[in-house]
Amino acid sequence: MDEKVRMEIKNMNFYYGTKQALCDINIQVYRNRVTAIIGPSGCGKSTLIRLLNRMNDLIPHARIEGEVLLDGHNIYGPDEDVVDVRRKIGMVFQKPNPFPKSIFENVAYGLRVNGIKDRQYIRRKVEKSIKDAALWGEVKDRLNDSALALSGGQQQRLCIARALAVEPEVLLMDEPASALDPTSTSKIEELIQELKKRYTIIIVTHNMQQAARISDYTAFLMLGQMVEYDLTPKIFTNPAKKVTEDYITGRFG
Amino acid sequence: MKIKNVTKFKENIYRGIFTILAFASLFFLLGITVILFKEGLPIFQKVSVFDFLFGRYWYPTHADAEFGILPIMLGSLWVTIGALGVCVPLGVGSALYIHELAGYTQKSVLKPLIEILAAIPSIVYGFFGMVIVAPFIQRTFHLSVGLNAFTGSLMLGIMATPTVCSIAEDALSFVPKSFREASYALGANRWQTLINVIMPAAGSGISTAIILGMSRAIGETMTVLMVCGGAAVIPHSFFQPVRPMTATIAAEMGEAVMGGAHYHALFAIGLILFLFTLVFNIIAEIISRRFRVKLGLGR
Ligand SMILES: Nc1ncnc2c1ncn2[C@@H]1O[C@H](COP(=O)(O)OP(=O)(O)OP(=O)(O)O)[C@@H](O)[C@H]1O
Ligand SMILES: [Mg+2]
């Protein structure tokens, strides 16, 4: 199979103060594929995904070793501009977190902070992003209402629209459906299938069926170590390690 | 059955106590308001409301007494505006610094330190202003008196800064971390995030901080009595002595004949001061309510 590598995590160690949260992680993320990160609670999934757009830079006393390459460039390199890195690698968070602004402004925000002034362009881009996030039908008549008036599932799709508007190269999603009902969840899963045609997606989930349904590759993490990383069907039908099998079949945790 | 009755009885007692307490404070407030009106209003039998508010001369003890409080109100106004000019940039600026730039250790020292500053009695500020700041101002600007509106503003501003800073910093830290992360994840830099997301979200808290700072400045008595110079004339520059409303009442109440015109005039000043602060507080309440609705936090 000839896959193109988009991101690569190399010999990654991560520490919260003196506590090591990630231990020698190596993963290759392929272009236009969905890569799922699974594992028991507290194993370091969020820590890992937040390292990919340098969100952990905000945490005091945190320390990182190793490299994260985006198209061969180390995003932790000395000349790398963190703002630029984050624009290229978008993120959708576990809990929907729209700004206390209008629906329109939520999506336009990323464009504005990136220096785009052309109103016509912004309007079109906002519309397109909301359509891509499968939300347009529900909000097109009330773009100026507060985003906080939307339901949880709508808010999360708005957050996805917001992330898409700045055209990231990679989209990170940290349990994007964990706070949502089944209908909203399946909408977001469909959306991910649609989006992977244009984006490279990394998704954290602790829902194994979800990982099996939507991902092409799966990384299984436990206690900060990467136990196994392979094609999703392989992980779910014929894992190389016993612990993986135990976890997948629900024999623990 | 028995237990239920006891609980019910207890509950009624608690309910009664809290109701009494709540109404007690309401009662005091009402009492103060009534007294202010009762003792203040009689002055308007002597001078019209217009002449009182806009009269240019305050000669309450002359044989031919005049009760125009314009110079006194302007004194308060100038000093308050001046104080805002000091405490808003200092207070909000230091809040932003503590919130945004200070490291963990710096923050854990600075915040309590500033809160201690708020606890210094106003007489100490007045003393400091009189003995150190006023002579310094006098020398620096070559003035005939160092006790003037400028010195007053400066001292009041410094006094109000801890209040403003502390409340503004609280407001900033109440902004959910997720807003900041969302903004960063879209490629916004620190300042864009601060201006477009954090500040608006903390806006109501910051305005409340400013208005409380303002209330502190306009209601402060001891310091202004000591450092403002005390002249009841319409100020034409910041470097002239002024006599704000609080200082006037404090300085003259002792010598005013009880029940006389001067006495009623001083109460009327108190009444107007009361109305001012009431308006400030109402504005603060409206602003914070509007923001809360905007943030979706309910009323
Ligand atoms: N800011 C922090 N400071 C210190 N330790 C942290 C911090 N954030 C997370 N940790 C610790 O790091 C470990 C990994 O946390 P992480 O949030 O990455 O787990 P997770 O796999 O995402 O769990 P969950 O499925 O519950 O979201 C946990 O033991 C957690 O307690
Ligand atoms: Mg997590």
The ipTM assigned to this model is 0.90
The bridge status of strand A19-30 relative to strand A5-16 is antiparallel
Q: With an 8 Å Cβ cutoff, are B200 and A100 in contact? A: yes
Q: What residue type is B117 in one-letter code?
A: L
Interface residue of B186, B194, B295 to substitute, partner A, most A CBs within 10 Å: B186
| CA within 13 Å, CB half, B245 | 27
Ligand 1 pocket residue status of A56, Cβ below 6 Å: no
Q: Where are the domains of chain A?
A: 5-248
The rounded Å distance from CA A97 to ligand 1 centre is 19
The rounded Å distance from CA B252 to ligand 2 centre is 67
* CATH number for domain B49-294, candidates 2.40.50.140, 2.40.430.10, 3.50.50.60, 1.10.3720.10: 1.10.3720.10
For the residues A18-42, what does the mean pLDDT come to? 93
The rounded Å distance from CA A72 to ligand 2 centre is 27
The burial class, CB within 10 Å (0-12 / 13-18 / 19+), for A24 is: middle
Torsion of CA A206, A208, A209, A210, to 10 degrees: 40
According to the model, what pLDDT value does residue B27 have?
92
Contacts of A172 (CB under 8 A, 6+ apart): A49, A50, A52, A53, A89, A90, A91, A92, A201, A202, A203
Please tell me the residue having the least CA distance from ligand 1 atom 31: A42
Task: Kindly report the pTM of this predicted structure.
Answer: 0.79
The pLDDT confidence band at residue A15, using thresholds 50, 70 and 90, is very high
Q: Based on C-alpha coordinates, what's the Rg of chain A?
A: 18
| pLDDT over 60 at B299, yes or no | no
Q: With an 8 Å Cβ cutoff, are A55 and B181 in contact? A: yes
Within 10 angstroms of residue A117's Cβ, the number of other Cβ atoms is 8
Q: Where are the domains of chain B?
A: 2-45, 49-294
Residues B202-227 pLDDT 10s: 888 888 888 888 888 888 888 888 88
The bridge status of strand A89-92 relative to strand A73-74 is unpaired
Does 1.20.1250.20 match the CATH number of domain A5-248? no
What is the C-alpha separation between A215 and A247, in angstroms, rounded? 17
Ligand 1 pocket residue status of A15, Cβ below 6 Å: no
| pLDDT over 70 at B2, yes or no | no
Helix B245-252 to helix B199-219 angle (10° resolution) is 30
Q: With an 8 Å Cβ cutoff, are B296 and A149 in contact? A: yes
Chain B nearest-CA residue for A115? B188
Lowest mean pLDDT, pick from A193-202, B236-245, B282-291: B282-291
CA B87 to chain centre: 11
According to the model, what pLDDT value does residue A252 have?
64
